[in-house]
Amino acid sequence: MSDRRRLTRRHALGLTAGLGLGSLASSLPAHSTASAGRLSAYPKGQRPQLLNVLDESSLNSAERTLATTLQGLMARRGAESLYLNIPSLGYQFWLDDLISRYGVRTRPGDLWKTVSRSGVGGYVLFRTGTPSVNVATTLAGVTGAVAVGESLEALAIRHGLRKVLDVRDKDDRWVVDNYWPRLRHDVAIEQKADIPERLRDYVTMARTLAFYDGNSAFRAEVVGALDDDATVIGWGDASQGEDKFIGPNSDAGVKAIPADHARNLSVLSGITEDRLSQRGGGGGRALEPDPDAHYVTFLITDGDNIQWMLGDFPTDQRWFGSPHRGSVDLGWGISPSLIDLAPSVMRWFYDQSVKDRWVVGPSGGGYMYPSRYPAAALTKHTSSLAQSMARADLSAVQIIDFDSFPDTRLWGNYLKHREIDGLIYLEYSRYDSHKGKVVWAEGKPVISARTMLWGGLEGADEASVTAELNSAVRNPRSTAGYSVVLWHAWSKSVDDVMTVVNGLAPHVKVIPPDTLVKMVGKYARP
């Protein structure tokens, strides 16, 4: 990027509020994070009062793009908006909860009638299957116009919309060259052009950049021009490993939130919860230790993934939808960003938790490698993380990094905050490489995973894990008296965890992950 664009990061945004076309274009300042009188860590929609509910499967690809860019624009006002439902996934839960707990009214949606009622007067024309869909989504937020594919242009004109821009031959580079000062620089959306609806409502609501260019030099320029500790919501090109883009993000001081299949964030973010409390698992308190016991916790991987949390995580029997959930203390990861992006969803999970306890997914406010984060960005990150953890009643953080477990100075950046009781460290190449060792920073523990449940990996099957736990040290005054077992979300299930639990000797006691962190910190002093 040119020096001109690098110099127009945060300060330029305040100069362009209200630019663009359409009655909705100026309804949200370009860089505002205010919602209901409170400053949020993320841009938020306004609280919805009435939702026009559309079954996503009833819309074709072009209609989904139109609907979601319209949804984002309407979410700036909050009175009336759209909701794309998928009844078989969690989206039905979130809709029912908005109705019953928050008093949101609904009616069956009609896309074009909603367009007419919205007050939107223009459209940005794009070509399906090309980068222009990201261009149109981005500029919908800037101009207050909806994104319309070529196949819908005649219908759009018939319904009174006028063409504001034709971007069919444009790409992400063109947007950055021409509109960067008008876009937010604390959040960007990484989304493939062949996904017509997911995240596009949030792009338009937040007035931010939607882009996708693999692991290219252009992508590196984009993340390098974002603010310190900015967030890229979505997902990059992981064909050669997710470190190929999470690494450059980290070098630039930027975190990622996996969310490329998330829907309705513009609506869900419109709910405000200043503070939430966990209800399950005995409150995560340190227990009085049994001197002849070995304490173990089972903690799922991939808790940073909010698209999964919103989608099939609550319904699938492999995970939170398991009929066995509630029969044993289980640990789940969650993104603290949900306290702003989807607080009603976070509250629903907490309310549904029986013996479940939640910790922060890797590596804090989003997925990044702390050892590669610039110092100033890491300071900003951990400060913001501590605040969101206090609001979301979270006290322990999972970390993923490369060969940095002994770096206690690095972990002090997290553990100097009173809200953070300890860290659970996962080595990138194999999560249990350090076999349960503990290091200390600021008088608090950094606990490595002792073992894993992971399909196809040696020593990570149910029988091996059960045998290892049954033979482990019985001494809660020693760090060896505790085990963290990471179970792989994509190859193992609650059923597999229960197979291990049912094979444990009586002296092996299963506890929640935050309880284990507190007990190590209290009883197994260095």
Residue ranges per structural domain of the chain: 50-269, 294-524
pLDDT at 267: 98
pLDDT tens string 296-351: 999 999 999 999 999 999 999 999 999 999 999 999 999 999 999 999 999 999 99
Give, in order, the Cα–Cα distances in Å from 479 to each of 38, 337, 449, 486: 42, 31, 12, 17
d(CA 184, CA 8): 11
Task: Confirm if 291 and 509 have CB atoms less than 8 A apart.
Answer: no
What the block records as the tokens of 510 is 């299963």
CATH no. for 294-524? 3.20.20.490
Give the sheet arrangement for strand 209-211, strand by strand. Answer: 209-211, 187-190, 230-234, 254-258
pLDDT tens string 203-227: 999 999 999 999 999 999 999 999 9
H or E element in which residue 202 lies: helix 200-206
pLDDT at 390: 97
pLDDT at 417: 98
pLDDT at 38: 55
Q: Which residues pair with 35 in a beta bridge?
A: 38
pLDDT tens string 471-507: 999 999 999 999 999 999 999 999 999 999 999 999 9
What the block records as the tokens of 406 is 């002994």
pLDDT at 39: 67
d(CA 38, CA 481): 44
DSSP string, 454-504: -TTSTT-SHHHHHHHHHTS---TTSGGGEEEEEE-TTT--HHHHHHHHHT-
DSSP state of 433: T
Residues of the chain with pLDDT under 50: 1-37
